Structure 1
Amino acid sequence: MRPYATAQLIGDRSHQCDATATATGPNGTRAFVLLDGIGSSDEVHDWTRTAARRLARTAAYHADAETGLRAQYDRYAADPDRQGPWARQPDACAVVAVASPRWLTVAWCGDARAYLLVGGRLIRLTQDHNLRRVYPPNDIHGGGNRNIVTSCLGNYETDQQVKDRYGHPAIETTTRMLENSRLLLASDGAYEPLEDAGLDLSGYLVGDVGETARAFVDTAVATARAVTDPYADNATVLIADLRTTN
């Protein structure tokens, strides 16, 4: 039985601009990637698929999520066509997780998320790069616009430039010892409708990975249309069972 699965639905957008990819590196290291393309066009659709594969291969080769994401982030940032505030090239929120024999490393830019289900407890591993994080809700206002991201793959700004503007670096990371668990990578179109409706995401992560992935995006799109918003975004998940070798 395959230990991972992906599923996606286009929702009500004109194009499916999310993409996933996996790759295997030295010593059985496995990289899992999810990209949430910004905008809806043929160009973004094609770019996210190529970028996801490149990121997965690079992260698997280096056996580290941060090294892989930084290599690809810097590669795109160096493109002269991406320089300056008026440049417009395809970009995407990105999250990558790398499971090596001992460690799980996660790196991200944007608001695609990574979660870990351990012993029935769901742990969120990432923090969103969007204006809702920069301006949290309070008693006076409802917070910043969560649909405006503050970092993404394809951006040209450095860690320090992003941190000076928004209070967080362009790329953030986390590392955990690898343990028997279930990994979830999700685009905002997958997690937001369930979260907005007050549903427990862990309840949608039990069972066969393929059936679970399909049910997750089905529920996300149906919930977005019926409960939280009449508009459903692209919804994409990658679910993987992680096992220690001990």
Structure 2
Amino acid sequence: MINPLAQVVWHSASARGPRSVNADAASGFGEPPVFAVADGIGDSPAAARAARIAVSAAVLTSAGPVDSLLAAQGAVSGDPSSGDCVLVVAVPYAGGYHIGWVGDVRAYAWDGASLRQLTHDHTLAQYFRDRGQDASPQMEHMVTTSVRTAGATRFGLTALRRPAGLLLTTDGVHKRLPPATMAELLRRPSNSARSLVDAALAAGGTDNATALLVECEPRLSEPATEAFAVAA
């Protein structure tokens, strides 16, 4: 999707893949927009509903990523028919984006040539790797935080100053495509979120796949604030 009314140009794409439902969701809202991508936990309508509710609530809150994540948490927890999800949100400020996340959705900085990962996966596998221990493949899919379960002190927080671009992805993309491959696709003239989603599924993806690409940085009038530290 392209939003022609926003001050920034952005594209999102999502595919169900071989799953029974698409439990991913992506959205952008405002001028300049707040962006969010969510991945429902499981392959069910309840997981899909949680992801949609989470991104809808997150992008309506422009005060900062903590407020956006708390809004998503309140919306999901208050809906008895929704399951759970993981979520990344990017809130613009004068110097770039404030970013918050739970789970294994990711944000990358895109400079037109290469990608730099900004987030740090909240998974059991990452927990063990951070401590110098081996992790089994099954641990890659076990998240240690989620929208329903994470307290505010467990939110991952960071900031990106004056990006050339921003990429948000679910694990159906970034666990199939290494950063070098994603960057190669984005360097092509037809670069788009759709190219990443299609490539992830062509590479044998077995999950939903979603990407949201922001092509230019936000420009606001308020002074820049200090960057957040990334939560472990």
Kindly name which structure, 1 or 2, has the bigger radius of gyration based on alpha carbons. Answer: 1
1:124 deviates by 0.6
1:214 deviates by 1.1
Give 2:172's aligned residue.
189
1:117 deviates by 0.9
Counting aligned pairs with the same residue, the percent is 26
Q: CA RMSD, aligned part only?
A: 2.8
1:98 deviates by 1.4
CA distance in 2: counterparts of 1:187 and 1:125, whole angstroms: 14
- Note the residue ranges of structure 2 that are not aligned, 5 or more in a row: 221-232
The question of 1:235 aligning with 2:216 is answered: no
The question of 1:45 aligning with 2:48 is answered: yes
- Note the residue ranges of structure 1 that are not aligned, 5 or more in a row: 82-87, 160-168, 226-231
Q: Give the TM-score normalised by the residue count of structure 1.
A: 0.76
Native 8 Å contact 2:14 2:211 kept in 1: yes
CA distance in 2: counterparts of 1:119 and 1:45, whole angstroms: 32
Equivalent position to 2:201, from 221, 227, 236: 221
For residues 80 and 237 of structure 1, do their structure 2 counterparts lie closer, same or farther at Cα, with a shift above 3 Å needed?
closer
1:189 deviates by 0.4
1:158 deviates by 2.9
Deviations 1:153-175 (A, max 9, x none): 122x535xxxxxxxxx5211001
For residues 217 and 43 of structure 1, do their structure 2 counterparts lie closer, same or farther at Cα, with a shift above 3 Å needed?
same
CA distance in 2: counterparts of 1:39 and 1:219, whole angstroms: 22
1:208 deviates by 6.4
Give 1:36's aligned residue.
39
Native 8 Å contact 2:54 2:75 kept in 1: no
Q: Give the TM-score normalised by the residue count of structure 2.
A: 0.80
Native 8 Å contact 1:116 1:184 kept in 2: yes
1:121 deviates by 3.1
Q: What SS does structure 2 have at the residue aligned with 1:189?
A: helix
Native 8 Å contact 2:39 2:86 kept in 1: yes
Native 8 Å contact 1:29 1:101 kept in 2: no
Alignment size in residue pairs: 213
The structure with more helix, counted as a fraction of residues: 1
